Chain A
């Protein structure tokens, strides 16, 4: 995979999401990549693919890494969303589109960092810690 676009550090992950990413990579024996989606139906969710599955281009912004796995967002979308710091989390439900999921009937979701609301799913009511970008066991 080639990180062709500009790079920032605006992705973090909940402990549950980090565990899920590690579990998924271990089960597959290979890293994954995340791409923030938008639009119809299942828009707004992060899509998770085998690393390199989506060919990224100059307009794909690398927001950072979660457990060594890159997280991209289209730069026009990033602008429309006001360059948010996103938090990767897991929630109940099957993954959408062609996305891989962490298994156990769960899927990846993203939400803006600093969310102070009762609307947060139970699984996300854990302290948010920045991803180190290095796998943990």
Chain B
């Protein structure tokens, strides 16, 4: 069982460090060739190392390994959290490595989520102090070790790029030389942190290169789908064609006859096919004859749900926020402007569909996959297999994207993985893989929403604003519900609509939360995916109706939103804003959205295109995310967020036909391609505010920026997404 012992060693070593007890850490043997992401980024040459806390390990070969509690699926926490450690440690970046921390909520909880997990663009925000302190503690101990070895005062030792130096006696040495001595020293409880003016990595252009890039360029990076273990079975599951259907009967005779197929088992979520490799499993799955019991299934079509939502949006829902006297202001309006926006279900469609590896027996289980909520997943696997949570080890793997899909409050994938393993028994480890069809038709979508907005204009001013939302809550009925839902309202459904950056004297936001049998989930930037579009299109429409410039008109209403206004001014300057146009066949649209504490403004330059939907030529973007830890990672997230947001706004919809999701692959779930990607220019607003996230906030503004540009080209702002449905 290659890989097993080293993992246990690491886990044991780390457990021994609670309370910051030190121990020399022995490097695992080289038998971990298949042990995942961590392994390929791990140095091969160190023989022993010093680990002052659960986050830093320093090898005698000078390598500094940072254990990262957040999953790396492209948003950069490996590099970001390692930057924070290396800054305070004064490490040599070329010696810095990153690997995923094991699942252990005591050591690795996300302070903003309350358990171990990644989401809400929190990785840097909740690690900023913690990782810097981890680095500072290690530095102080290395300095003390050198002071003892050289018999000089610690205060006379300087550290620069991984080298400790005592200039008076002209002595110097690298971290590795002092690792073993440092390991025997007491850990400082509150080591001093650098003054930001002394930073040489944080916020410095070009100071670090992303740690995971070389392995992701040459094909050696290991993802869950790449796990191969002796005796391992590859498993695929047939899921019901409608949400809520159950298996009525299974005829597996043809499936079992496919060479390479080992077994077929019914599990709670469907029917599992076990084979000795992938293709026989996929072929056998096609050969299964299953009849489904649809009696409890969701059978409504998208069109029917939309009509029901529209009807609901004409009634007042639960009030999420209000001020002034909206009804009186609406009644006294000179002009009343109404708009309705319809948002489809959307799939996350990460390039690597969901997958997981699990090995278990009566005493323990070890899972390896791209878990995004490790603590919940660990509990779920333990529950299914009848183990205690501490008997379940969970190694987080690099994952091929997530966009929210791998963070499941229901732990439905962990449950299916454990059920698949349980059904076949402990004799053989399993690798469960979902295909693209499983992914796109498997639910957990960005919920469908309808927004109905009304704006009242009097004396050329916007005097009232109401926004009624209709859409599902994916928090209701989960472990998160008691923490999140207040007064019957899931704030996630109204985030971005409940509080807008514009000062309007009479305001109301209310919401209906219908019950629909389609499982939904957070999707990159969550509520802001729809509220950003509705609010930013509607304010633009009201400004246009009152003859105001989209930038100046917004800024005039943003007296209480200085950072949002700052981002807007910055992007206007970057784009040399001179009004929305049109200029020739192009026009410009603007949008600004705060999400997850970061403020992003974008300007899109758009033409009508040649019958295949609009062409987005260029996007300018300004981001204020507080202290910018890794400027180039921030730019990359803005670029990626814009591309992700644009592709979905233009093309994407998971339509339901009598309850059955229609698109099954990238032929019918259209994704942005390189020729549709605009040129992008990003500016980072200088800020000393505490750092906030960048993984999600780049997404929301692009859709409304494009819609607002289209409005200046003689089109209506698209009322129903995706945009191409109304333009081709």
Note whether A and B form a binding pair. Answer: no
